[in-house]
A and B are shown apart, each in its own frame.
Chain A
Amino acid sequence: MLEVLFPNVVWERAWEKTLETLYMTSISLVFIFFIGIILGLLLFLTSKGNLWENRFFNTIIASIVNIFRSIPFVLLIVLLLPFTKFIVGSIIGEDAALPALIIGTAPFYARMVEIGLREIDKGVIEAAKAMGAKTSTIIWKVLLPESMPAIISGLTVTAIALVGYTAIAGVIGAGGLGDYAYLEGFSRNRNDVTFFATIIILIIVFIIQFIGDLIVKKLDKR
């Protein structure tokens, strides 16, 4: 049945490409998680009326975040090529896609973390301060736990966007399902391969969404 629908799909090849996509997505997601939380915390804490209020610093971080969020991803990959060569030592393959994926997506995630932190009731932070809590205690025991559902649902959205970005990166030499769909499917006029790659990407996206929702539901005690 499957052979009839997808005559040109080689299963081992498709599986290999799926693993490449999963590899790029998961490795960059780990980096994005930490970088995004740190940037998001900085954006939140330095903003007006918060613990480290500092307009200068806030403007700088916000500008950096906005710039990297605004550059179209395809262009970002190209612009980062010298940097990628310097860090990874190559401009082709899955590892070479990581710098662009991380730099392109972390600022987006940082904004989501910031939004999540803003939703925390100011009174709770006030209460922690009134108990004599240090800023580090407030970050670890109040800010992060209280915004965890938002942090995780933001990560879900980011991960899904990331899967899309790996496909774009794949087209210009990074491997993965994007590469498979474009080079072995579209370029060789094998539409079944393109279509098959698309289905797998959709399945990955659904699974990510499902896991994300499950974790948020578990965490959210409101």
Chain B
Amino acid sequence: MFGKDITNLKGAELRKTRQEIGMIFQHFNLLWSRNVRENISFPLEVAKVPKEERKKRVDDLIRLVGLEGKEESYPSQLSGGQKQRVGIARALANNPKVLLCDEATSALDPETTDSILDLLLDINQKFGLTIIIITHEMNVIRKICHRVAVMEEGRIVESGPVLEVFKHPKQPITKKFVRQVTEKEDARETIAQLLEKYPSGKIIRLSFVGDVAEQPVISKLIKNSNAVINILQGNITQTRFGAYGNLYLHLNGSEEDMKQAIRFLQEEQVEVEVIEHA
């Protein structure tokens, strides 16, 4: 990190380096004996920042995370989201070079998670601060991350830009994770049922990425094809770098018509997969 191997650092040097890394935690880890202001001030005290400067910095941070009016409250009087805001302010106090979030939203409800993510995104853009997020929630990654690395048994097994990894997951673990956001849980069952119900024709899955996802591809397909098209199920997932969607279609008609339809879709830059069994 910053060209240093921190696993070999010790004593004063390690402590100094740690001040350059802001960290927020799943369970906030605030000092309950200190109020909001004093909690945020804590890392500044550790870094021996003079009192006057400390006060100014704490005021700035409280404004940044939107906790005005709560300065004198104690953690026990705050909601989960507010506590995490204090955690974020505290982590940013010493102007870290990187912000490490350890399951920062895992203890929060979806709505609060969104507001915390917006705050992180805001900080990322305002200060150009690198944020490393450790999470098992794919929605978090989808919403604010640029790059993702998947870890299994303590090692990174796959990494790359978010859209790339979501679209083409390679490792089994990645596929399992990605399915959380791209496929509804009952999708597989539905497809299995449909395969049984319609022995004739084909069930195909279309994957759209980026701009294609927003094009009226299906409408064009219906106009251009003689095959009978039935939309079974679909979804679209928004990431930081464009949309990414799946659509399940049932095609029927002559062998020739179906082939022609698939060819048309491929020409439209849509990925097509014919599903034979769920």
> Which A residues contact B (CB, under 8 angstroms)?
121, 123-124, 126-134, 137, 141-142, 145-146, 148, 219, 221-222
Contact = CB atoms under 8 A, between A and B. Distances in A.
Interface of B: 14-19, 21, 23, 25, 27, 29-35, 42-43, 45-47, 74-76, 94
Contacts of B14: 132
Contacts of A148: 33
A126 to B, nearest CB: 7
Nearest to B33: A145
A53 to B, nearest CB: 16
Nearest to B24: A127
A146 B76 CA distance: 13
B18 A130 contact: yes
A133 B46 contact: yes
B29 A126 contact: yes
B15 A124 contact: no
A222 B42 contact: no
- Name the residue in A123, A124, A132, A137 with the highest tally of chain B Cβ atoms < 10 Å from its Cβ: A132
Nearest to B12: A134
B46 A123 contact: no
Contacts of A221: 32-33, 35, 74-76
Nearest to B32: A222
A129 B29 CA distance: 12
- Name the residue in A133, A134, A137 with the highest tally of chain B Cβ atoms < 10 Å from its Cβ: A133
Given A221-B74, A221-B76, A222-B76, A132 B30 contact: no
A131 B46 contact: yes
A127 B29 contact: yes
A111 to B, nearest CB: 22
A146 B31 CA distance: 7
Report, nearest first, the 6 A-B pairs whose CB atoms are least far apart. Answer: A132-B18, A132-B15, A127-B29, A123-B29, A221-B74, A132-B19
A51 to B, nearest CB: 13
Contacts of A219: 33
A141 B42 CA distance: 8
Given A137-B46, A141-B42, A131 B18 contact: yes
B31 A124 contact: yes
Nearest to B48: A137
Contacts of B47: 132
A121 B18 CA distance: 21
A146 B19 contact: no
A142 B25 CA distance: 17
Contacts of B76: 221-222
Given A132-B17, A133-B15, A146 B25 contact: no
A122 to B, nearest CB: 9
Nearest to A142: B31
A124 B29 contact: yes
Given A128-B46, A221-B32, A221-B74, A134 B15 contact: yes
